[in-house]
Amino acid sequence: MPPPVGGSPRNHPYQRSLILSGLTRQNRTSTNNSINNSNSDNVAPYYQLSRALTPRQWCLDDFELARPLGKGQFGRVYLMRERQSGYVVAMKMMLKAELLKFNMQHQLRREIEIQSNLKHKHILRLDTFFHDKTRVFLVLEYAPQGEMYKKLRKVSRFPEWQASKYVYEMTTALLYLHRKHVIHRDIKPENLLLGSHGELKISDFGWSVHAPKSRRTTICGTLDYLPPEMVEGREHSSPVDLWSLGVLCYEFLVGKPPFEVLDDEDGLESTYKKIASVDLSIPDYVSNEAKDLIVKLLRYNPDQRLVLERVLLHPWITRHNGTSK
Ligand code: AMP
């Protein structure tokens, strides 16, 4: 380990690259990772999961706990400080047994592969990961202002300038993803965090896919945000994210998603129908410019949705973000 470098440890580029690359700790492993092959039916999946997660340069002892940040479906998230550099991260800890129980190992692997290759100011960085005998740890960029979902619920709906700013940031992130042939497929406020200046960060890549050419048929994501082609079981590709961007824009401005049916007694059938028929009504207090953008994104035909480059040029975006045509 090289000696500590002066200046602000969190921001020093050398210390940061130390964390990001993990190269200085090539030989370090976490706790004893040997697998007892004797008499457990679970040996194979554990072994496969361990293999899938190499290389492992970091271990828990490299970090000290600052405080818990939250609890998700598959683990707990802690604010941690890397001992040598003082670099602050959010560490997500997941139990291997839980991941295997819910058959999440492939999804997690894909999430790691995709997210660790992304570098954009509106996409939460995955710095590195490691694992021990029973747990997997993701070392993530810390988003100090927390969850977008909570922020939205607190105020019910955002003023137009703020919604426009978020949609603008989201659009730049989606442009970056689509140019790298990554489709996100699960855009919603719950999957967005906020950086130290309140900037949006896409944080969850659990349903994302790297799809250079193919069209997909898996139905995934969250019902209120699914596009017609998905609810109808047709093929889909990157325009699914354009639809979700329209739903997100609506939810930011209105406080609930456009096709939500509360107490859907037909087992979600009514929601499906509303989506498939694009049964959309936008309250009068939403400006005409914002309405125009929403309508142009929520089009039944994926090929007719406003493309991301045009979203950036839309008057509702340029007006509020000081970006010119
Ligand atoms: P998750 O398991 O990703 O749903 O995370 C559970 C909770 O931990 C979230 O709802 C956030 O409140 C918090 N959290 C997760 N990741 C971060 C992060 N990178 N920065 C700050 N808080 C986070």
3-class secondary structure, 241: helix
> How far lies 152's CA from each of 194, 243, 254, in Å?
12, 20, 10
Q: Is the dihedral of CA 41, 42, 46, 49 positive or negative?
A: positive
The reported pLDDT for the residue numbered 223 is 83
Residue nearest to atom 15 of ligand 1 (CA): 77
Q: What is the pLDDT of residues 139-175, one digit of tens each?
A: 999 999 999 999 999 999 999 999 999 999 999 999 9
The reported pLDDT for the residue numbered 255 is 97
Residue 175 CB coordination number (10 Å): 16
Residue nearest to atom 21 of ligand 1 (CA): 143
CA–CA dist 167, 249 (Å, integer): 6
The reported pLDDT for the residue numbered 5 is 28
Q: Catalytic residue among 186, 241, 264, 292, which?
A: 186
Q: Which residues line ligand 1 (CB under 6 A)?
A: 69-72, 75, 77, 90, 92, 124, 140-143, 146-147, 193
Statement: the pTM of the whole predicted model exceeds 0.85? no
Query: Is position 284 annotated as part of the catalytic site?
Result: no
CATH code assigned to 146-321 = 1.10.510.10
CA–CA dist 187, 205 (Å, integer): 9
Residue nearest to atom 12 of ligand 1 (CA): 70
Ligand 1 atom index nearest CA of 190: 10
Query: What is the four-CA torsion angle of 16, 19, 24, 30, rounded to 10 degrees?
Result: 160
Q: Is 44 annotated as a binding residue?
A: no
185 phi/psi in degrees, rounded to 5: 70, 5
**Residue-by-residue pLDDT tens, the chain, 325 positions:** 333 322 233 233 323 332 333 322 322 223 223 223 333 344 455 545 554 555 557 899 999 999 999 998 889 999 999 998 899 999 999 999 999 999 989 889 989 999 999 999 999 999 999 999 999 999 999 999 999 999 999 999 999 999 999 999 999 999 999 999 999 988 999 999 999 999 999 998 878 888 765 566 666 677 888 899 988 888 888 999 999 999 999 999 999 999 988 776 666 788 889 999 999 999 999 999 999 999 999 999 999 999 999 999 999 999 999 886 5
* AA identity, residue 204: D
CA–CA dist 310, 281 (Å, integer): 23
If you measure from the C-alpha of residue 6 to the centroid of ligand 1, how many angstroms do you get, rounded to a whole number? 30
Q: Is 276 annotated as a binding residue?
A: no
Q: Is 304 exposed, middle or buried (0-12, 13-18, 19+ CB in 10 A)?
A: exposed
Q: Is-contact 12 20, C-beta < 8 A?
A: no
**Residues forming a β-bridge with 216:** 236
Residue nearest to atom 2 of ligand 1 (CA): 72
115 phi/psi in degrees, rounded to 5: -65, -35
The reported pLDDT for the residue numbered 234 is 86
Residue nearest to atom 4 of ligand 1 (CA): 72
Q: Is 265 annotated as a binding residue?
A: no
Ligand 1 atom index nearest CA of 89: 19
What residue ranges of the chain are covered by domains with CATH 1.10.510.10? 146-321
196 phi/psi in degrees, rounded to 5: -65, -25
Q: Is 188 annotated as a binding residue?
A: no
CA–CA dist 198, 282 (Å, integer): 27
Pick the CATH number of 13-141 from 3.40.50.720, 3.30.1950.10, 3.30.200.20, 3.40.50.880: 3.30.200.20
What residue ranges of the chain are covered by domains with CATH 3.30.200.20? 13-141
Ligand 1 atom index nearest CA of 149: 10
Using most ligand atoms within 8 A of CB, pick from 67, 69, 91, 188 the residue to mutate for ligand 1: 69
If you measure from the C-alpha of residue 72 to the centroid of ligand 1, how many angstroms do you get, rounded to a whole number? 7
Radius of gyration of the chain (CA): 21
Q: Is 92 annotated as a binding residue?
A: yes
Residue nearest to atom 8 of ligand 1 (CA): 70
Q: Is 235 annotated as a binding residue?
A: no
To 5 degrees, how large is the angle CA 152–CA 154–CA 156? 60
If you measure from the C-alpha of residue 272 to the centroid of ligand 1, how many angstroms do you get, rounded to a whole number? 30
CA–CA dist 115, 108 (Å, integer): 10
